[in-house]
Structure 1
Amino acid sequence: MDTLSLGLLLAGLLIILPLALYALFLWRRVWARQRAIREAERARRERLGSDLRILAGSLLDEQLPLIEGAIRIKVLIDNYDTALSNNPRCQVFHQLFEATAHVPTHAAWKALERNERRHHEARFMELELQHKAAARASARWLLEEALPPPANDD
């Protein structure tokens, strides 16, 4: 091998080696970021699952009004798992959400005239009578079959 070839080979190695080390550094950052994203998603799902278990249990124990519980469960389940949200057993939550979507909340609810509030409350009672059994069955199904058991932090 002549001197020129050897010099070019060394120059190439001196260029390639730092670039390879930099590429490895960048890949390690990508892998660490992917790991962090997976961990954040796992923690989010665990938190949402825990919240869903609490809401479903509260709905079954009648510690939470049916309409409010159904609305909250529907919103959380949409964020937790789209496939689970689309399960026919969860449709009652969607039905109650859609039936009450037009009802004002918070300050707008307080601003309603008394007869308007009473009209909405009467509709809530109708919906509760109509959907209570299905909502309770769906909440029980979520707790017993659909949601993973709570993680032990022992």
Structure 2
Amino acid sequence: MPPWLQWSLIIAGAIAIIALLVFIRRQAAMLAEGRRRQQKAEAFQAKRRQDMVDSIRVIAMAIEEDQVEYSEGCLRIKGLLDHVAPELMEKPPYEVFMVVYEQIRHMPTHQARQDTETRFVEKMDKERFEVERRYADEIRRAATAIRHHPF
């Protein structure tokens, strides 16, 4: 084999090795960036979950201390439990949050409540207060239990 061909093949091999090293380095950097993003996303999700758990505990404490209407507390806890631990709503004593939610979910809230006729709102309030009265003891027990639940 002539020397010029040998040198050409050596140079071509060196170029191929350098190109592969550059490619490998870029791939490694992309993988590292992907891992960093994944860790950041997992940390964000963990913090978000912990914030929801903290909110559940605060709402439960507000229910225990009669600082919030039972129906509102049930709606809020149910909404948070949907994201944190939906299986809890099928177990006693937490199932009362779902029971109350099912009985009052048709009622208007926020702007829809303000836009609704006053007599209809009063009728809905009367129905809501009856649901709250009927389940008051269960709601308080469930609030205490969920406040101490290890999520």
**Is 1:33 aligned with 2:37?**
yes
The answer to whether the 8 Å contact 2:88/2:95 transfers is no
Q: Which protein shows a greater Rg?
A: 2
Q: 1:99 aligns with which of 103, 111, 128?
A: 103
Unpaired segments ≥5 residues, structure 1: 148-154
**Residue aligning to 2:20:** 16
Cα 1:7–1:110 change in 2 (3 A) is closer
Alignment partners' CA distance in 1, 2:88 and 2:44: 20
State the TM-score, normalized to the length of structure 2: 0.85
The answer to whether the 8 Å contact 2:52/2:80 transfers is yes
Q: Compute the displacement of 1:5 (Å).
A: 5.1
Cα 1:145–1:4 change in 2 (3 A) is same
Q: 1:52 aligns with which of 50, 56, 72?
A: 56
Q: Which one-letter code corresponds to 2:106 in the other structure?
A: H
Identity %: 21
State the TM-score, normalized to the length of structure 1: 0.84
The number of residue pairs the alignment matches comes to 146
**What does the per-residue CA deviation read over 1:81-123, in whole Å, with 9 as the maximum and x for residues that have no partner?**
3333444432211111121111112233234334322221221
Unpaired segments ≥5 residues, structure 2: 1-5
Alignment partners' CA distance in 2, 1:136 and 1:125: 15
